[in-house]
């Protein structure tokens, strides 16, 4: 498959994937005056955020202070609208800190506007397929859209694809799931609209376990619906249903993802009927915003110069090259036959940072990665993967791209102090010695 000459483009930075990480990377690089192309395989910005519309931005407030940077800017922008399109709320689940709920459509519109303002050329419905290597550099990426193949010749590649296909094909070692290859369950979400909140949330159990147990025992709910996570949506009388998890799906296999999406929809319909019939407050509600595809939590974890571990988290490690703070619990969801865990990652009142070295491969001089494909062991991964942290990882790599291009240094040889300083200047909080704790 060869691209014709008029379908070859050069750019400073190619960001692959328009999820929260790709958004952060592209805006940050664009604001540095770089020529940036953002390639997104679907028709929308957001990634998992768009696949599970209305999912709160969790983990933005380690020890109740916002992580800063782009997520703070986006949130402030949404909060300042009339009517406000975002707000900070206490999470229903005890071990999580506060989270940001928002109007999904206005948030994605605003993210797109921020990309435009940063001068990013966003190409939707376009997929990166194959890297062309020149020893330890990526020279070009073969891509395709509905008009056929095209080629991008980037000086720097930032892989924010969640699955890391390009990094893997470029030779970056990776692990799929945990030591046995088990990945977290995938999830399909929906909203119930027209819910009487007072009646629905009169009980203190965030998982509606008694109701769900009855539904499972009577064979009206799938056995994996024994815990229903239902939370107030951003808009009044809406409820976000983040409950339908499908186990054992390899998110890198599009056929498996398609089958899981259909199975998930069936279970959502089953849950919708159950809620209306059995759970107070839902009798007159209807279903809306069903995920267009399942949200995939975990596939490849790439091997970086450094791999963040559960032990690093437990020690509340604040790395000298830390680029964002985090205190999320170990949020593990139904690997193999296991259940859900929300165990604390660190002692209460403390936080850790994610090191820049977890976002760069050992060998390829012009490649970085950000978001859920970072280099982490399964325990650390279960904590670091919140959308605010993914956006911040993206922001760090976008800025690092500018430093690398200006200095002519491979990404492995960057002056990390300079990077961390620059991030602190951009309002990212709690980075090593540069910002007050």
Handedness of CA 177, 127, 27, 132 (dihedral sign): positive
- Listed residue (203, 404, 172) closest to 300, CA to CA: 172
Which 116-145 residues touch ligand FAD, going by CB under 6 A? Answer: 127-128
Provide the mask over 352-381, with x wherever binding to ligand FAD is found by CB under 6 A and - wherever it is not. Answer: -------------------xx---------
Complex with ligand FAD: residue 157 or 275, whichever CB lies closer: 157
Provide the mask over 288-307, with x wherever binding to ligand FAD is found by CB under 6 A and - wherever it is not. Answer: -------xxx----------
Residues in contact with 55: Cβ distance below 8 Å, sequence separation at least 6, in sequence order: 48, 49, 189, 240, 242, 295, 387
Which 406-425 residues touch ligand FAD, going by CB under 6 A? Answer: none
Say whether residue 22 binds ligand FAD (CB under 6 A): yes
Q: Which residue has the tokens 């957001």?
A: 46
Complex with ligand FAD: residue 364 or 387, whichever CB lies closer: 387
- Listed residue (200, 204, 199) closest to 241, CA to CA: 200
Angle between helices 104-117 and 20-31 (to 10 degrees): 30
3-state secondary structure 136-193: CEEEEEEEEECCEEEEEEEEEEEECCCCCHHHHHCCCCEEECCCCCCCCCEEEEEEEE
Tokens of 243: 């409950």
Say whether residue 59 binds ligand FAD (CB under 6 A): yes
Which 319-358 residues touch ligand FAD, going by CB under 6 A? Answer: none
Residue from 15, 32, 36, 40 touching ligand FAD (CB under 6 A): that is 40
Residue from 11, 12, 14, 17 touching ligand FAD (CB under 6 A): that is 17
Task: Identify the burial level of 223 via C-beta atoms within 10 angstroms of its C-beta, where 0-12 means exposed, 13-18 middle and 19 or more buried.
Answer: exposed
Helix or strand (DSSP H, E) at 197 = helix 197-200
Say whether residue 86 binds ligand FAD (CB under 6 A): no
Complex with ligand FAD: residue 221 or 373, whichever CB lies closer: 373
Residue from 9, 29, 30, 47 touching ligand FAD (CB under 6 A): that is 47
Say whether residue 69 binds ligand FAD (CB under 6 A): no
Say whether residue 19 binds ligand FAD (CB under 6 A): yes
Complex with ligand FAD: residue 123 or 430, whichever CB lies closer: 123
Complex with ligand FAD: residue 21 or 360, whichever CB lies closer: 21
- Other CB atoms within 10 A of residue 202 CB: 10
d(CA 308, CA 355): 8
Minimal distance, residue 402 CB to ligand FAD, in Å: 20
CB 190, CB 241: distance < 8 Å = yes
Complex with ligand FAD: residue 92 or 320, whichever CB lies closer: 92
Binding site for ligand FAD (CB under 6 A): 16-22, 39-42, 47-49, 52, 55-59, 127-128, 160-163, 165, 187, 295-297, 371-372, 385-387, 390
């Amino acid at each position: 498959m060869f691209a014709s000459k008029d379908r070859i483009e050069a750019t400073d930075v190619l960001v692959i994937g328009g999820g929260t990480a790709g958004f952060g990377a592209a805006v940050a690089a664009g604001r540095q005056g770089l020529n940036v192309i953002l390639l997104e395989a679907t028709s929308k910005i957001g990634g998992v955020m768009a696949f599970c519309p209305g999912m709160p931005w969790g983990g933005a407030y380690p020890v109740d202070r916002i992580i800063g940077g782009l997520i703070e800017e986006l949130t402030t922008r949404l909060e300042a609208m009339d009517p406000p399109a975002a707000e900070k709320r206490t999470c229903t689940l005890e071990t999580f800190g506060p989270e940001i709920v928002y109007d999904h459509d206005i948030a994605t519109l605003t993210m797109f506007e921020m990309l435009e303002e940063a001068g990013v050329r966003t190409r939707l419905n376009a997929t990166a397929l194959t890297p062309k290597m020149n020893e330890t550099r990526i020279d070009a990426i073969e891509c395709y859209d509905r008009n056929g193949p095209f080629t991008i010749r980037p000086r720097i590649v930032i892989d924010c694809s969640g699955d890391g296909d390009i990094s893997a094909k470029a030779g970056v070692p990776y692990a799929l799931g945990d030591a046995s290859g088990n990945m977290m369950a995938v999830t399909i979400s929906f909203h119930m609209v027209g819910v009487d909140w007072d009646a629905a949330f009169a009980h203190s159990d965030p998982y509606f376990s008694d109701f769900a147990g009855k539904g499972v025992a009577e064979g009206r709910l799938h056995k994996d619906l024994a815990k229903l996570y239902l939370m107030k949506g951003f808009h009044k009388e809406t409820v976000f249903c983040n409950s339908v998890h499908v186990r054992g799906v390899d998110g890198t296999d599009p056929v498996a993802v398609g089958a899981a999406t259909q199975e998930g929809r069936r279970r959502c319909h089953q849950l919708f009927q159950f809620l209306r019939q059995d759970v107070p407050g839902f009798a007159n509600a209807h279903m809306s915003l069903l995920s267009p595809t399942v949200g995939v939590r975990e596939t490849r974890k790439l091997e970086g110069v450094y791999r963040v571990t559960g032990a690093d988290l437990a020690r509340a490690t604040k790395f000298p090259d830390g680029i964002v703070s985090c205190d999320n619990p170990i949020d593990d969801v139904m690997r193999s036959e296991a259940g859900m865990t929300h165990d604390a990652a660190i002692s209460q009142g403390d936080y850790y940072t994610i090191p820049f070295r977890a976002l760069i491969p050992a060998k390829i001089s012009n490649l970085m990665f950000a978001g859920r494909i970072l280099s982490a062991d399964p325990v650390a991964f279960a904590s670091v993967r919140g959308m605010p942290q993914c956006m911040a990882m993206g922001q760090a790599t976008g800025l690092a791209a500018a430093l690398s291009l200006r200095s002519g240094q491979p990404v492995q040889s960057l002056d990390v102090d300079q990077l961390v300083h620059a991030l602190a200047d951009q309002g990212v909080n709690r980075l090593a010695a540069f910002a007050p704790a």
